Structure 1
């Protein structure tokens, strides 16, 4: 029988300070790829809500479906790389798919310039949604597929004697992940907040998605440029497939021999002994023992990944003014990577050593604490949401209507709405909206009575005007807080002449005496008021976050030096008063939980995994992230809770329950030493091999050998994967 000679990879010739030059290209590739992924993901949920016009629940559903797919596809990538293409080709091919997906996302956000409606919503929304979904599917396949390959490929570049350099490489690799995440989460929300377009100026999602797309193209080019320097190990066969076959055979064989005439075996995996050697079976037993502990873990990720969805929506209802800078709602996600870089060394050098002096803080205890901290983070989010809800306007129910009165007459008035008497100063308004059921009786003057009907669930402004007698005009008001923390402004023109009003290059469109709403961001806003003769007036208004104003231009208005004093602003909704800094508490608790949970969990998995099954455990760990995002979809859809704080408490309660279950499971877990267990199993006896061969031949009809490869796969890269917090 001819023995195939294995071609050894060429030795590299270029090194810098003892490190292969090729790792430079891999680190830069990882930085650009993580920038691309986290940058796109930072603005994704806002893109769903404000560009595609989906409601928060549906936007959250699609967001978590996408994240789940990103953590399901690594299994596919690992199988393709280890069984057929090898790591290098898998990274290149799937990076092309990844880059195409990012480009499609950027294209999907380009506004229909000729068909756009006045509110900025494209007419051809179906096309935008279809392109977005195609782009996200390609991105999920690309980022998930290369996830298990890049770190391992970097580890392949080192010789056996370069363990120290390999360890340093993975530390740098870990920093590149978090640096890419941090920088992109800061930059892409700024890009998103820019205005772009030709006929319609609106938030620039094409730029926010286009820059990550460009970075992914750069990542691919950099990786290919380093191609001549790489060591490329040929595919060795995927252990995940081998393990699945072994488990499947054990189950099938046990079912086949379920009658009492067959002797019982100590473990159900022992039913695979007829085909697989005892070493592999022992390794599978150890892996299954750890995978069993993974069952409760997805609940942690169900809470953790809501930082990019529910917590971002929460930030849109808060005050983002930090003095010198203004924080966008989606930029609050940067708190997580910043805290990671701070907390990881503090935990390793200070917290863990101090705790270990008091009691044995085992890995499973750390994981339990991490889950509890995540639950506390959601309790903090719920308490914060309760405070936010207290500041929100009291909007009408589905059976009520609300109204506010503005006096556009140059004298004080006293009117009656049902049994309520309302005093209105000249060119002034009552402070709060009044609530009525369907209709009410309005008395403007003695003997002048109107029956006013209100649509259910609406807010209205009634401007009282002077004609031959007092009358009124009714206008529709907003029934929700302005989106993204911006301010909703409109102008009521009682001047009796056509006026042109602009603010920050935005023009108010008058369809009647009342203009449509314009969204204006936080800060100082200057209103330029012009008439058809060229006269102008500048009025200045300081804006917070999430307020709504009606600017009254009275009939007594005149152009001149003091013109702005005649203009009055009526506040329809107060600005957001709860500061965004309060979210730092829940981010701190969640990130502390992540550091304790994620890093410890990966280290525990590695220490308890057989030498050739580190990748199996890594795939299982990534699968818990995917399942966690699926849990969000199930709970969010099934719960249908009216109040957001109640949903936060529900998730926190579920995690506490799961935390208790995990603590019980951990109590009964016995730590093992995989090296010692593997050492107990020597080479299989020749008669045992012959036994398996004869066992298989009648079924297969061939002389196919089922001898297992006992050589341990190169697991150094899996070891270093435990250092990654962002996976």
Structure 2
């Protein structure tokens, strides 16, 4: 395929957009279809048959699920890098999509084989993560100055189609698993992913293909390296911090390897597996490098334009905001693990005249509420809530929306914890009660997720917007890391004894714990937001 740009129809909607939208619809169904049945499948599968039924097996299923989520939101770094430096967006999306298809095939073929099934999860994480940062930006590449007014319509359609696909996948995939078994339940999303890849390939001769960018001498990492460069005469505190992080991160991995590969006693906690250790090591590098660079960033002036240096400082400020958002994702992603496990203990009111028993038959289907509510809440917020608050004198800023979103997600987990107390007390609790925490969590999601991209885009200079997107995906990775760390803590006898002394079950205790975690994060977010220096880096009208 030629990498030359294809001319767009002046002022018109690009014809090739239909292939990208079709691809997105099928891909989102395939992803959420397999993701939303992963925990219930693992709990009942032979893959975890070596564990007794109950908390041990449920905990292992949660560990696998959140390790998978960590991979999905880590691999965008790889996909974005390969696309920008070597292969371009079209080739990278196509090749990672084929990897994605292979992963789905493994899930369908190896339902009783741990090695084959987990290989499939890895390939899906690699494929899904690899294309995640590219499809939307590839769609944007199809527009130019003559038809950019059509781009908003397409991006709105993108967000709508994501939730449309997620809604039907969440609704139907648990039924496929219940009535036709895992081979069919995982196979159907695989077929949809193959169709997605084929539809994307069909448009190959019509796409605008922006070639990979040249190595920017004033890019984010180049400026950071210049700032951290060692200089004679002292004043290298930032460099010491960054180099200390580069020493500590490998030491953490060696500590894990000593336990796992050689059976040696090391300083590193044995309950921290590879995924936890690798994520913590990555976090240490990001934190150490960021703190170190911020301490002596002005050293990069002269070697780089002031605009590039100021852009890096803007990114470092945004990273603090992103770090404070990670607790939200630890709550949000557990709707597909902890909340499904809770729902399995609840009663589905099949006897009620108003309950659609022909459709809703499984606790995992309650996840369909999330995309349905997203499609309803976004227009409600924009057309009703925000204008009403403005008329009352409240400034609905992006940072305030995000802070309230984190706090409201904590409230959703308070409600879930109360439901768990009812269950633990022996009450027959209807699963319809889960609609309330789903509503609150989704409201929090709309306030946090939809707002964060707008906020980051406005705060980062044009040259740094790609870097910001990569770091945004990592917030979900670290959100699931918090869950894995909590689960690791539950394997400590002292921790479980302390929970038992509260009189609460582990499930109820963890729900209130995560609610408190969100409230603490919301308070820290609000404190930082008060002194955050807002910027405005939207493109000047008429600029290319």
Q: Matched residue of 1:582: which SS?
A: helix
Distance 1:254 1:293, change over 3 A: farther
Within 1, Cα distance between the matches of 2:225 and 2:41? 44
**Aligned counterpart, 1:387:** 422
Within 1, Cα distance between the matches of 2:197 and 2:77? 21
Q: Does 1:179 align with 2:164?
A: yes
**Aligned counterpart, 2:107:** 105
**Aligned counterpart, 1:11:** 7
Distance 1:375 1:37, change over 3 A: same
Q: Does 1:598 align with 2:461?
A: no
**Aligned counterpart, 1:252:** 229
Q: Does 1:643 align with 2:506?
A: yes
**Aligned counterpart, 1:405:** none
**Aligned counterpart, 2:153:** 168
Q: Does 1:661 align with 2:529?
A: no
Deviation at 1:223, TM superposition (A): 0.6
Q: Does 1:282 align with 2:284?
A: no
**Aligned counterpart, 2:68:** 66
Within 2, Cα distance between the matches of 1:25 and 1:674? 31
The RMSD of aligned alpha carbons is 2.5
**Aligned counterpart, 2:333:** 305
Equivalent residues of 2:294, 2:316 under 8 A apart? no
Distance 1:61 1:255, change over 3 A: farther
Distance 1:193 1:65, change over 3 A: same
Equivalent residues of 2:6, 2:206 under 8 A apart? no
Structure ranking higher in helix proportion: 2
Q: Matched residue of 2:408: which SS?
A: helix
Within 1, Cα distance between the matches of 2:529 and 2:231? 28
Q: Does 1:243 align with 2:220?
A: yes
**Aligned counterpart, 2:439:** 588
Within 2, Cα distance between the matches of 1:390 and 1:267? 54
My pick for the range that moved more, 321-330 or 38-47, is 321-330
Within 2, Cα distance between the matches of 1:44 and 1:665? 37
Higher relative contact order (CA 8 A, sep 6+): 2
Within 2, Cα distance between the matches of 1:36 and 1:92? 16
Equivalent residues of 1:185, 1:333 under 8 A apart? yes
Within 1, Cα distance between the matches of 2:232 and 2:224? 12
Deviation at 1:12, TM superposition (A): 4.2
My pick for the range that moved more, 376-385 or 18-27, is 18-27
Within 2, Cα distance between the matches of 1:34 and 1:162? 27
**Aligned counterpart, 1:193:** 178
Structure 1 residue corresponding to 2:118, chosen from 128, 133, 139? 133
Distance 1:255 1:80, change over 3 A: farther
**Aligned counterpart, 2:345:** 317
Q: Does 1:80 align with 2:82?
A: yes
Deviation at 1:266, TM superposition (A): 10
**Aligned counterpart, 2:480:** 629
Deviation at 1:267, TM superposition (A): 6.4
The CA deviation string for residues 538-559 of structure 1, in whole angstroms up to 9 with x for no partner, is: xxxxxxxxxxxxxxxxxxxxxx
Deviation at 1:19, TM superposition (A): 1.3
How many residues are paired up?
460
Q: Does 1:652 align with 2:515?
A: yes
Distance 1:660 1:22, change over 3 A: same
Deviation at 1:245, TM superposition (A): 2.6
Deviation at 1:241, TM superposition (A): 9.7
Deviation at 1:590, TM superposition (A): 0.2
Q: Summarize the alignment of residues 683-698 of structure 1 with structure 2, pairs less than 5 Å apart.
A: none
Structure ranking higher in strand proportion: 1
Q: Summarize the alignment of residues 224-243 of structure 1 with structure 2, pairs less than 5 Å apart.
A: 224-237=201-214, 242-243=219-220
Structure 1 residue corresponding to 2:403, chosen from 353, 362, 368? 368
Within 2, Cα distance between the matches of 1:57 and 1:224? 40
The CA deviation string for residues 135-188 of structure 1, in whole angstroms up to 9 with x for no partner, is: 011000100000111111111111212121111111111111111111111111
Q: Does 1:32 align with 2:9?
A: no
Q: Matched residue of 1:319: which SS?
A: coil
Please say which structure displays the higher CA radius of gyration. Answer: 1
Specify every segment of 5 or more residues in structure 1 that has no aligned partner in the other structure, as ranges: 1-6, 112-127, 196-203, 393-576, 679-711, 715-727
Equivalent residues of 1:370, 1:595 under 8 A apart? yes
Distance 1:193 1:9, change over 3 A: same
Within 2, Cα distance between the matches of 1:366 and 1:350? 15
Deviation at 1:258, TM superposition (A): 2.3
Deviation at 1:328, TM superposition (A): 0.8
**Aligned counterpart, 1:718:** none
Distance 1:635 1:141, change over 3 A: same
Deviation at 1:254, TM superposition (A): 5.7
My pick for the range that moved more, 364-373 or 238-247, is 238-247
Equivalent residues of 2:4, 2:209 under 8 A apart? no
Deviation at 1:257, TM superposition (A): 4.9
**Aligned counterpart, 1:269:** 297
**Deviation >6 Å, runs of 4+:** 238-241
Deviation at 1:38, TM superposition (A): 0.3
